[in-house]
Amino acid sequence: MKSILKQIIPKQIFSIYHYILAVSSSLYYGEPSKKLIIIGVTGTKGKTSTANFIWTALNQKYKTGLISTANIRIGDHHELNSYHMTMPGRFTIQRLIRKMVGEGCVYCVVETTSEGIKQFRHKGIYYDTLVFTNLTPEHLPSHEGSFEKYKEAKGTIFRELSTRPKKVIGGQEIPTSIIVNADSEHKDYFLSFDADSKVTYSMNNPADFQATGTSHSPEGPSFALGNERYHLSILGTFNIYNALPAVIIAKNAGLDSEEIQVGLDKLVLIPGRMELISEGQKYTVIVDYAHEKESMTALLATASLIREMGKKIIIVLGAEGGGRDKTKRSAMGTIVGKEADFVIVTTVDPYDDDPMEIIEDIAVVAEQMGKVREKNLFPILDREQGIVKALSLAQEGDIVLITGKGAEQSMVTNAGTILWDDREVVRHLLKLK
């Protein structure tokens, strides 16, 4: 019914509807974001991890809230995001922020998506600091197939940062700030907006905060900022990018390097992001949200870095339907066809699309990269059976990557929405082995 309505009702009507809902929900809950310092995180990749790193650093000294794709936090209280969307409904977002105010939070970190901005879910959220992570072609069908419109959608919240009066909390005016990844080719666009302060971070290009001396161990990556050294407890050298804004923001909030490191040490798990699943098996199982070219590339690079000589990488992947970008299917097929030893292509969230058509779009390209069906390439419609196949292939020391859904709590199929959690499915199957 919803898809039919979208076809017959002008887009402007939907936009007005979304806008009114957002403004109404903010007013209904008493504009709670005006009572907190709001940090928005936007970009294509790494938003959830970046938001969690910011939360853990700040929460070491100040009670901090978080709304992200994977999880919702109010201080030390933690729950999974069960809404199957990064930015939940407007009334839900405002209710959560109001709860954070009531429970004494000083900061709130909000993962902010282009789709959420397009639907005005950001309206009534009064940001003070904005973090830009990176930008790659994704979600383009939601923006008329235009990368520029996708970029401009994210730029909306940066533009609005300077157009509203500054907050005064506890008698103190809250300055605005923009924090930008200087290794992104789009850095200048996001730095072009007005703010009281603009700060850059990087691992390659010159920046205000440039990570150097990076290293990786089975316990996680580490890096230096000047004469300070930081260590992360979550795998993936790419997580250094995700942690840098947390260090910057925490320093601005008055934390010293020791306090920041204590906060980073406490973040040992971001649900569905490089999440290790262990039930005593003799091989490594990682559940990760990777669902497009860049994140899949980074994930496979990390797996290659930590695997022992001669051991295999087994990957389970798929792609979403429902009007999502189809071009990423072939891109992922190319990567896994080249970099993984065994490839299992299965269902993710087909919505109303034919799930086997999605699977084949990936599998055919993996074949072109040299994979052979029923030898090291297995298209399997049922996701649980796909995971079963991956686990059955694993030998001691191998690495199994379960990708595409992370900590999501449901799967959207053409038969409706069903409860689903990759992590729980994997734990259950491992216990049966």
The whole-angstrom distance between residue 266's C-alpha and the CA centroid of its chain comes to 19
What percent of the chain is predicted at pLDDT more than 70?
A: 94
Q: For helices 327-339 and 293-306, give the axis angle rounded to 10 degrees.
A: 10
Q: What is the pLDDT of residue 15?
A: 67
Query: Among 22-31, 37-46, 231-240, which is the least confidently predicted range?
Result: 22-31
The span from the CA of 323 to the CA of 326, in Å, is 8
Mean pLDDT of the chain: 92
Gap between the Cα atoms of 203 and 180, Å rounded: 12
Decide if pLDDT at 374 tops 70.
yes
Single-letter code of the amino acid located at 373: R
For the chain, give me the number of helices (H) and strands (E)?
14, 22
What pLDDT score was predicted for residue 266?
96
Q: What is the largest distance, in Å, between two alpha-carbon atoms of the chain? A: 67
Which is higher by pLDDT, 400 or 123?
Answer: 400
CATH 3.90.190.20 region(s) of the chain? 275-432
Distances (CA, A) of 113 to 42, 45, 53, 68, 110: 6, 11, 18, 10, 10
Sign of the CA dihedral running 217, 223, 228, 232: negative
Q: How far apart are CA 402 and CA 374, in angstroms?
A: 19
Question: Is residue 108 a contact partner of residue 66, using CB atoms and an 8 Å limit?
Answer: yes
pLDDT-based confidence at residue 164 (cuts at 50, 70, 90): confident
Q: Tell the residue number behind the tokens 């001691």, with chain if given.
A: 396
Band (pLDDT 50/70/90 cuts) for residue 8 is: low
Phi and psi of 253, rounded to 5°?
-90, 0
Length of the chain (residues): 433
Backbone phi and psi for residue 349, each to the nearest 5 degrees, phi listed first:
-130, 85
Output the pLDDT for position 1.
47
pTM above 0.85, yes or no: yes
184-207 mean pLDDT: 97
Q: CATH 3.40.1190.10 in the chain, residues? A: 2-266
The residue ranking higher by pLDDT, 143 or 26, is: 26
pLDDT digits (tens, 9 = 90+) for 325-343: 788 999 999 999 999 999 9
Residue 6 has pLDDT above 70, yes or no: no
So what's the pLDDT on residue 11?
Answer: 61
What is the third-level CATH fold of 2-266? UDP-N-acetylmuramoyl-L-alanine:D-glutamate ligase (3.40.1190)
Closest alpha carbon to 139 in 288, 273, 319: 319
**Lowest mean pLDDT across 81-90, 145-154, 196-205, 345-354:** 81-90
At 201, list the tokens.
């971070």
Q: What is the pLDDT of residues 34-71, one digit of tens each?
A: 999 999 999 989 999 999 999 999 999 999 999 999 99
Confidence of residue 5 (pLDDT cuts 50, 70, 90): very low
Q: How many other C-beta atoms are found inside a 10 Å radius of the C-beta of residue 95?
A: 16
The predicted model gives 179-200 an average pLDDT of: 97
CATH of 275-432, one of 3.40.50.720, 3.40.640.10, 3.90.190.20, 3.40.50.1000: 3.90.190.20
For 185, the 3-state DSSP assignment is coil
> Quick one: average pLDDT of 272-287?
96
Q: Given a cut of 80, is residue 283 above it in pLDDT?
A: yes
Long-range contacts of 368-377, Cβ-Cβ distance < 8 Å, separation of 24 or more:
368/333, 368/334, 368/337, 369/333, 369/334, 369/336, 369/337, 369/338, 370/337, 370/338, 371/337, 371/343, 376/341, 376/342, 376/343, 377/337, 377/342, 377/343, 377/345
Per-residue confidence at 216, pLDDT binned at 50, 70, 90? confident
Any idea which of 144-158, 228-242, 310-324, 357-371 has the lowest mean pLDDT? 144-158
Q: With bands split at pLDDT 50, 70 and 90, how would you rate the model's confidence at 271? A: very high
The mean pLDDT of 228-246, rounded to a whole number, is 96
pLDDT of 168 higher than 90: yes
pLDDT greater than 60 at residue 230: yes
C-alpha gyration radius of the chain: 21
Cα separation, 424 vs 386, in Å, equals 15
Contact yes or no for 234/213 (Cβ under 8 A): no
Give the model's confidence band at 145: pLDDT under 50 very low, under 70 low, under 90 confident, else very high.
Answer: low
Three-state DSSP class for residue 6:
helix
Res 185 pLDDT > 60? yes
